[in-house]
Structure 1
């Protein structure tokens, strides 16, 4: 076989693999795992490079300023009002939300949330078999996301669900727990885990809030936008701040962080899915399941 023939054969095989993967993805549905470990390595490395570059630049600017005869403590300490940080504007009056039926996903459909968001909820309590987690909500930043979560809870959508994905520093540069797929087995084997939803989607509400330790946010498929659904995640490390959104951030863990951080102390406590770590599907799961028993909003 000539070199040209071999290249043609390899190209055909590559195309066949792509078509097979595309067909499998269409069959399985969109995976709500927001980022794979391999991609995270690149993002984190880029973040470290950027931080190092900015630090060097800041140091150079500081040295130049200190050596300049015009520089003075009084001049550097003064700042105009426009330089000072301001609080984000508060939402006033009723908030109208847009929810769209999504029939293309694996799903458990229990209806659509009301369009008028209930923005009175400030606390979200999640009772699991591993302990109770409390989240301080951000209704001004994510009224429609919280409205969706509260609606699904009123239908007992999350009761007895297993959180299907847990990745820790032992196997990944990111550390998080993901929940919200009503069909998930959380066995570390089922390729469809993470593709199940509530059967509707809604637009992004915020995307500029860093995913620091303790942040709770909604996940959506791959790098897509405006496809938030029933899936949500707990960020368990400040390393996740290097990950780019948009993701609807709904709040911050105020109780139970110790529980979340100790769900899988070692790699042996995980059922590692190599396809998950390569961002090709499936989900690494905790050997001891994390099961949502009930939720409440107040």
Structure 2
């Protein structure tokens, strides 16, 4: 083999080694992203075995906790919110929403929303026993989600409902409040907390927004698509950006963030539900309950 041939062979081997290393790095990054999403939060359909039977239930994904440094934990006096890192996917022209009845999960059914959303809705106000939260809505980007929430609010579906999950960074590596399970007890004893819905599901929309502090989104299991229901969550930290996009964002908190950040400063303020039916370590609810009194839209 000539000197040129040897050099060409060495160059080819170097190029193959570089490409192999790049492929490994891409696979590792993809696996990390999938793992982070699957350890986050959601309410999607899963099959659970209970008392010798099998039934479909919505499941909260909460597997191996990851740690976040104390320096990254928001304080109770943090700023109101952080702007989303992407522009909402605004829909143009007439919008028709489709909602599908789902009877295989624990639910409180009060009917199906209408197909024509009110595109003029701009604000969602949640009055709780701990304070009031105002959300600026992305109605042009998530009309069917907001149409669903507005319908349920008018039916008083959320009235006197306990928010069943509050997570702090030292517990799960993320920081959020989740509400919307009509059957939740939030007492650390009810095994099906986080399973309940309004008895229907609908498709995804506005999923390109990352979950910065203050972003409000509909919850699904980490690997679910098109299974949005009555449950929603409020991101309480920019650390949640590590999960990326993919969840159905409805708006951003404009008032009440200081109150939300003060609900729990660490896992010591939470009740762990070891009896959670999913077997993923249990949901964590605030020791001082967060109870929705009313939700209104305008």
TM-score interval, smaller chain: 0.7 to 0.9
Structure 2 residue matching 1:258: 3-state secondary structure: helix
Q: How much is the aligned-residue C-alpha RMSD, in angstroms? A: 2.5
Among 50, 57, 60, the alignment partner of 1:29 is: 57
- In the alignment, the residues of structure 2 paired with residue 109 and residue 36 of structure 1 have an alpha-carbon distance, to the nearest angstrom, of 26
| Contact preservation (8 Å) 2:174, 2:239 | yes
Q: Deviations over 1:107-155 (max 9, x none)?
A: 0000000011111111000000000000000012110000000000010
Residue equivalent to 1:114: 114
Structure 1 residue matching 2:217: 3-state secondary structure: strand
| Contact preservation (8 Å) 2:63, 2:281 | no
| Contact preservation (8 Å) 1:174, 1:237 | yes
Could you say if the C-alpha distance between residues 87 and 209 of structure 1 is closer, same or farther in structure 2, counting changes exceeding 3 Å?
closer
Q: Deviations over 1:30-70 (max 9, x none)?
A: 21x3x4252x639x9xxxxxxxxxxxxxxxxxxxxxxxxxx
- In the alignment, the residues of structure 1 paired with residue 86 and residue 178 of structure 2 have an alpha-carbon distance, to the nearest angstrom, of 32
- In the alignment, the residues of structure 2 paired with residue 234 and residue 161 of structure 1 have an alpha-carbon distance, to the nearest angstrom, of 16
Q: CA deviation at 1:279?
A: 6.7
TM-score (norm 1): 0.72
Q: CA deviation at 1:223?
A: 1.6
Residue equivalent to 1:146: 146
Residue equivalent to 2:66: 41
Residue equivalent to 1:127: 127
Q: CA deviation at 1:274?
A: 5.2
TM-score (norm 2): 0.72
- In the alignment, the residues of structure 2 paired with residue 89 and residue 286 of structure 1 have an alpha-carbon distance, to the nearest angstrom, of 34
Correspondence 1:93-242 to 2 at 5 A: 93-242=93-242
Q: CA deviation at 1:92?
A: 3.0
Q: CA deviation at 1:28?
A: 6.4
- In the alignment, the residues of structure 2 paired with residue 247 and residue 151 of structure 1 have an alpha-carbon distance, to the nearest angstrom, of 21
Of 244-253 and 145-154, the range deviating more from structure 2: 244-253
| Contact preservation (8 Å) 1:214, 1:234 | yes
Could you say if the C-alpha distance between residues 133 and 153 of structure 1 is closer, same or farther in structure 2, counting changes exceeding 3 Å?
same
Q: CA deviation at 1:267?
A: 2.7
- In the alignment, the residues of structure 1 paired with residue 221 and residue 269 of structure 2 have an alpha-carbon distance, to the nearest angstrom, of 26
Structure 1 residue matching 2:228: 3-state secondary structure: coil
Could you say if the C-alpha distance between residues 249 and 287 of structure 1 is closer, same or farther in structure 2, counting changes exceeding 3 Å?
same
Correspondence 1:267-286 to 2 at 5 A: 267-273=267-273, 280=280, 282-286=282-286
- In the alignment, the residues of structure 1 paired with residue 279 and residue 241 of structure 2 have an alpha-carbon distance, to the nearest angstrom, of 19
Structure 2, gaps ≥5 residues long: 1-46, 69-84
- In the alignment, the residues of structure 1 paired with residue 125 and residue 113 of structure 2 have an alpha-carbon distance, to the nearest angstrom, of 20
